[in-house]
Structure 1
Amino acid sequence: MAQSVDIGALIRGARSAARLTQAQVGSMCGYSASAISRIEANKLRLGYAQMLCLAEALNIPLERLRAAGGSHSLMVATVSSGCPSDEEDVVRRREMLSGAIAAGTSAIVGTGTASASETRGPELEDTLFRLPSAQPAPLARLTAQTAAARRAFRAARYDDLSRALPRLLATADATAGTTTGKARQQALAVLARAYVLAAELAAKQHSDAAWVAADRALTAARSSGLPVPVGEASRVLAITMRRSGRWSSAVHLLTQEATALDAAEERSTAVRTTLLLTAAYSAATGHDRTTALALLGEAEQTVGGLVQVPGLFTVEASQAQVDVYRIGVLNALGTPDEGVKTAARLNIDLMPTPERRARAWTDTARMWHALGDSQQTFAALRSVEREAPEEVRRPALRALTSDLLYGSGRIQGLREFASRTGAVAA
Structure 2
Amino acid sequence: MGADAEIGALLRGARCALRLTQTEVGNACGYSASAVSRIESGRMGIDYPTLLKFAAFLRIPPEQLRASAVPGMTNVATVAGGCRSVEEDEVRRRNLLTGVVAAGATAFVGADPAAAAPVDLDVALFRLPQAEPVPLPRLVAQIASARRDYCATEYARLGQVLPNLIATATATRDASSGRAREEADMALARTYVLAAEFATKQHSDAAWVAADRALAAARSSGIPVAVGEASRQLAIAMRRSGRSTAAVHLLTKEASDLDASRDHTGAVRTTLLLTGAYSAATGRDRSTALSLLEEAEQETGKHPAVPGLFTVEATRTQVDAYRISVLNALGTPDEAVDVAARLNVDQMSTAERRARAWTDVARMWNALGDSEQTFATLQRVEQEAPQEVRRPALRALTTGLLYGPTRIEGIREFAARTGALVA
Q: Contact 1:121 / 1:206 at 8 angstroms: preserved in 2?
A: no
- TM-aligned CA deviation for residue 420 of structure 1: 0.4
SS at match of 1:302: helix
Q: Contact 2:358 / 2:380 at 8 angstroms: preserved in 1?
A: yes
Residue of structure 2 equivalent to 1:299: 296
Residue of structure 2 equivalent to 1:359: 356
Q: Confirm whether residue 286 of structure 1 aligns to residue 283 of structure 2.
A: yes
Q: Contact 1:154 / 1:314 at 8 angstroms: preserved in 2?
A: no
Residue of structure 2 equivalent to 1:49: none
**Distance change >3 Å, CA 138–CA 393, structure 1 → 2:** same
Residue of structure 2 equivalent to 1:99: 90
TM-score normalised per structure 1: 0.79
User: Which of 163, 177, 182 is 2:160 aligned to?
Assistant: 163
| Letter of the structure 2 residue corresponding to residue 303 of structure 1 | T
**Distance change >3 Å, CA 369–CA 140, structure 1 → 2:** same
**Distance change >3 Å, CA 246–CA 325, structure 1 → 2:** same
SS at match of 1:379: helix
Deviations, residues 186-224 of structure 1 (Å, cap 9, x unaligned) = 111010001001111111111111111011000000010
Question: In the aligned structure 2, how far is the partner of 1:256 from the partner of 1:296?
Answer: 16
Matches of residues 28-107 of structure 1 in structure 2 within 5 Å?
Answer: 59-60=41-42, 63-66=45-48, 68=50, 88=78, 91=81, 99=90
Deviations, residues 104-155 of structure 1 (Å, cap 9, x unaligned) = xxxxxx9xx9671369997112221111100000001000000000000000
| Letter of the structure 1 residue corresponding to residue 387 of structure 2 | E
**Distance change >3 Å, CA 81–CA 173, structure 1 → 2:** same
Question: In the aligned structure 1, how far is the partner of 2:81 from the partner of 2:197?
Answer: 22
The runs of 5 or more residues in structure 1 that have no matched partner are 1-9, 23-39, 43-56, 71-75, 104-109
Query: More displaced, 238-247 or 305-314?
Result: 305-314
**Distance change >3 Å, CA 420–CA 69, structure 1 → 2:** closer
What count of residue pairs does the alignment treat as equivalent?
372
Deviations, residues 211-263 of structure 1 (Å, cap 9, x unaligned) = 11011000000010000010000001000000001010000000000000012
Q: Confirm whether residue 323 of structure 1 aligns to residue 320 of structure 2.
A: yes
User: Which of 138, 148, 172 is 2:145 aligned to?
Assistant: 148
**Distance change >3 Å, CA 69–CA 314, structure 1 → 2:** same
Q: Contact 1:280 / 1:293 at 8 angstroms: preserved in 2?
A: yes
Q: Confirm whether residue 238 of structure 1 aligns to residue 229 of structure 2.
A: no
User: Which of 173, 179, 192 is 2:189 aligned to?
Assistant: 192
**Distance change >3 Å, CA 309–CA 415, structure 1 → 2:** same
Question: In the aligned structure 2, how far is the partner of 1:221 from the partner of 1:12?
Answer: 38
Q: Contact 2:9 / 2:399 at 8 angstroms: preserved in 1?
A: no
Question: In the aligned structure 1, how far is the partner of 2:278 from the partner of 2:136?
Answer: 36
Residue of structure 2 equivalent to 1:177: 174
**Distance change >3 Å, CA 13–CA 400, structure 1 → 2:** closer
Deviations, residues 280-302 of structure 1 (Å, cap 9, x unaligned) = 00010011101100110110011
| Letter of the structure 1 residue corresponding to residue 90 of structure 2 | G
**Distance change >3 Å, CA 121–CA 284, structure 1 → 2:** farther
**Distance change >3 Å, CA 228–CA 60, structure 1 → 2:** same
Residue of structure 1 equivalent to 2:220: 223
| Letter of the structure 1 residue corresponding to residue 109 of structure 2 | A
SS at match of 1:409: coil
Q: Contact 1:284 / 1:332 at 8 angstroms: preserved in 2?
A: yes
Residue of structure 1 equivalent to 2:109: 116
Q: Confirm whether residue 269 of structure 1 aligns to residue 266 of structure 2.
A: yes
**Distance change >3 Å, CA 331–CA 13, structure 1 → 2:** closer
**Distance change >3 Å, CA 16–CA 218, structure 1 → 2:** closer
Question: In the aligned structure 2, how far is the partner of 1:321 from the partner of 1:264?
Answer: 20
Residue of structure 2 equivalent to 1:205: 202
Query: Percent identity at matched positions?
Result: 58
Deviations, residues 287-345 of structure 1 (Å, cap 9, x unaligned) = 11011001101100111212222222141111111000000000000000100111111
| Letter of the structure 2 residue corresponding to residue 64 of structure 1 | I
Question: In the aligned structure 1, how far is the partner of 2:158 from the partner of 2:271?
Answer: 23
Question: In the aligned structure 1, how far is the partner of 2:338 from the partner of 2:9?
Answer: 39
Q: Contact 1:196 / 1:233 at 8 angstroms: preserved in 2?
A: yes
- TM-aligned CA deviation for residue 411 of structure 1: 1.4
| Letter of the structure 1 residue corresponding to residue 214 of structure 2 | A
Question: In the aligned structure 2, how far is the partner of 1:409 from the partner of 1:80?
Answer: 29
User: Which of 370, 373, 388 is 1:373 aligned to?
Assistant: 370
Residue of structure 1 equivalent to 2:342: 345
Q: Contact 2:305 / 2:313 at 8 angstroms: preserved in 1?
A: no
Question: In the aligned structure 1, how far is the partner of 2:370 from the partner of 2:152?
Answer: 29
Question: In the aligned structure 1, how far is the partner of 2:80 from the partner of 2:238?
Answer: 11
**Aligned alpha-carbon RMSD (Å):** 3.7
Question: In the aligned structure 2, how far is the partner of 1:310 from the partner of 1:12?
Answer: 37
SS at match of 2:336: helix
Question: In the aligned structure 2, how far is the partner of 1:352 from the partner of 1:177?
Answer: 35
Q: Contact 2:48 / 2:71 at 8 angstroms: preserved in 1?
A: no
| Letter of the structure 1 residue corresponding to residue 143 of structure 2 | T
Q: Contact 1:18 / 1:58 at 8 angstroms: preserved in 2?
A: no
The runs of 5 or more residues in structure 2 that have no matched partner are 1-6, 20-27, 31-38, 53-65, 95-101
Q: Contact 2:46 / 2:72 at 8 angstroms: preserved in 1?
A: no
| Letter of the structure 2 residue corresponding to residue 332 of structure 1 | A
Q: Contact 2:45 / 2:71 at 8 angstroms: preserved in 1?
A: no
User: Which of 305, 309, 319 is 1:308 aligned to?
Assistant: 305
TM-score normalised per structure 2: 0.79
